[in-house]
Amino acid sequence: MLDLRVRREPLWDPVLRPEGEGDLEKEAFGVWWDRNHDRLAHLEPRIAEQWIYRHWTHSYTAFVPLADLTWRLEKWSGDHVLENAHMEFGGPFAADHDYKVFNGHHSFGPNATARAMNAGTWDMPLLLLETPSGIQSHDGEMPLVRYLVAEGSKRMRYLHALRARGEGGGPHEVFIMSTPDVR
């Protein structure tokens, strides 16, 4: 059972750290990928970009070892995503509030997440970590949780807001990442 009660230390090799991480002039993904492709060739580039490059060790799942990580791409309905992908951090869902915030009712219009999903689906597959033995969280043991959102809390929140309105049915692409090190 994957224990999420305490934030784990990042395990990723510091050599993967994007140059300029935390600064205004972070290197471009293409430059970073060219330098790190050989170390991460087993990953789909969009996984590496969204999870490792973009969020670096600020991701609460940076404790996942990368060496034995495998992945597959699936298409799920919106309801299947909401029923099966557990979002431990980034909640709670608030459908009306989130719909208004994501569509910028008080600012400059829809944000990038809303623009993509209003057109049918997200522009980057959701990243899910397979948890075959469930999870342990502050809410207790959850042995039936099989997929943990590794990255994509905004997409999950907006999907929930859309489904509450009868929209966002999908299909939506999800990357399912697995490793024997996560139990």
Ordered by start, the domain boundaries in the chain are 10-67, 68-183
| Confidence class for position 182, pLDDT limits 50, 70, 90 | confident
Q: Are residues 155 and 174 in contact, defined by beta-carbon separation less than 8 angstroms?
A: no
Mean pLDDT of 41-70: 95
Say yes or no to pLDDT of 178 above 80.
yes
pLDDT in the model for residue 106: 67
What tens digit of pLDDT does each residue of 66-120 get? 999 999 999 999 999 999 999 988 778 899 999 998 998 766 789 999 999 999 9
CA–CA dist 120, 168 (Å, integer): 7
Report whether 142 contacts 86 (CB < 8 A). Answer: yes
In which element (H, E) is residue 149 found? strand 147-151
Q: Residue 52 phi/psi, 5° resolution? A: -85, -55
Q: Quick check: 9 pLDDT over 80?
A: yes
pLDDT of 107 = 67
Q: Which residues 6+ apart lie within 8 Å of 89 measured at CB?
A: 60, 153
Q: Is 85 exposed, middle or buried (0-12, 13-18, 19+ CB in 10 A)?
A: buried
Average pLDDT over residues 55-75: 94
Q: What is the pTM of this model?
A: 0.93
Topology classification of domain 68-183 = 3.90.1530
